[in-house]
Structure formats: structure tokens, C-alpha cells
Chain A
């Protein structure tokens, strides 16, 4: 499933341009070292972490997009960093459980 489709279906707010690509699974974590150890390339990362380290970790493991739950928004510096690394950042007022449920409903496993 393409990232743009997911963003549209879940009504996610686009905080950066959408670098559209296939999404291969979802990883949910607020712990950066856990993301580095266990997230997979092509994953969608669902988190509430808005620190620059979240982008650094996502870039390191080639996560393709970050979905910020609970309406979290990073600083402009962090968004610029993500855009430069071609990592899409999306936001939603939903909590992580609700995001996970909706991602499952649209067919992501």
C-alpha cells in the first residue's frame, strides 16, 4: 500500500511533503533505541517522539514515514531535517492504539 493512500484514508495531516512509496509494515515505539533495533526499512513509524533523534533513527533504518500520534508536532528545525532526509512526517489527533487499529483496518500488517 502506498503512503499517500494511507495518509488520505486516515486523514493524516501532512507536516512535510509526502515522499510517496510502498509501506512495508508498521512499527510503534517511543523509544529511539528500540526503533533502531527493531524497525524495518519501509516501515511506517508511529510515535509521539518529536525530538530530532526520532528523525535520525528513522533515517538510519530507512523508515519511510513518521506518524505523530496525539497531535504531536515537532519544531520547524526537525521538520526541515526530515524533509531533507525525504522522510514524510504526518500527524493525527488519534492516539497510538487508534492509529494502529485504523492502519490494520486499511490492510497494513
Chain B
């Protein structure tokens, strides 16, 4: 077995938990957050004039990326998941861009983030996105293959459901 070279950027401090989707009454607003507790909380709670109710939970994890050259660590607490372009509707703009990129060995993923308390998506800072791209590309061994993780400049998060984004959703809903 070959010894893989040590990557400069590395996924570290993996924290298992749940993506929890909740819905508010009476506004019917939906949002999701990460919960690192042993079980996902299902109790309803009040926040201002809204009552938030548990809707769905899926196993997930959060992680950090460490720069092994400097020892710096960036935590990706805002990242909900990475959506592969090929999972999007064929013919959509992003799918078409992804196909072009794929033809030259680049796999496009969109960084989907958690919602902030007001329901708007969090943002991944450009510098952190660069680290994330490096972390995944540093460990690829297939010659000519690249991963390109982009911010959600395409409004994908508004077009797809949390269920589509949550990577383990299909597994947990079978339970």
C-alpha cells in the first residue's frame, strides 16, 4: 500500500451531530441549524411572536480545516453541506456550467450554509472557501482531477429543499 503524502490543508476536529429543520407558527418560516447534542431536540419553543416546531433531523457533522504549515485552524460552523452540480436539474445554468467544468476535470460543488437567526443564509468567507477548496484538493490522487467549491451565487439554497441538501437525509428518513 502506498503512503499518501501529508496534505498541507486537512479536515480536523470532526464533530458529529444533527441538522435540525424547524418551522415557525404562525409565519410558516423554515430554518435549519446544527446540533451537536446526542439526540436532536424536538421540543417546541417561543422566540418573539413565533413558536418554532421541530420538523426533521438528519445526521451530519461539522469540521475544521487546519493549515499544517502554520497551525492555523478555521472552523466551518456555517457550512450545511456541499451540493454536487450533477445533482441539480439538467439544463439549469449551474448544471450547464458544471458540465463544461467537468469536461476539463473540474467537479463543481456549491457550499450551502446554515441559516442565521433571521432566516437568511450565512456566508462562507472567501478566505475560508479557499481553505476548503485546498483541503479537498490536497488529498485528491487522481491525476488532473480538481474540486471547485463555490459560494451559492446562484440562489440554489432558495430553490432546493433542506432535504435535498442534507447529505444523510435519505438514510435517516428510511428509519
Contact = CB atoms under 8 A, between A and B. Distances in A.
A41 B170 CA distance: 24
Interface of B: 1-2, 4, 11, 14, 59-61, 63, 82-84, 86-87, 102, 107, 109, 136, 139-142, 145, 147, 167-168, 170-171
A94 interface: no
A56 to B, nearest CB: 3
Contacts of A49: 170-171
Contact of A60 (B1, B60, B102, B136): B136
Contacts of B168: 31-33
Given A25-B1, A84-B86, 16 more contacts: A33-B168, A34-B61, A36-B61, A36-B82, A41-B140, A41-B142, A42-B141, A53-B87, A59-B107, A60-B82, A61-B136, A61-B139, A62-B140, A62-B141, A81-B87, A84-B102
A40 B139 CA distance: 8
Interface of A: 22, 24-25, 30-34, 36-38, 40-42, 49, 51-53, 55-57, 59-62, 64, 81, 84-86, 109
SS class, residues of chain B in contact with chain A = mixed
A86 B142 CA distance: 10
Given A22-B2, A60-B109, A33 B170 contact: no
B139 A62 contact: yes
A60 B147 contact: yes
B87 to A, nearest CB: 5
The 7 A-B pairs with the shortest beta carbon distances in the complex, nearest first, are A56-B84, A32-B167, A41-B141, A62-B140, A37-B14, A51-B170, A33-B61
A60 B167 contact: no
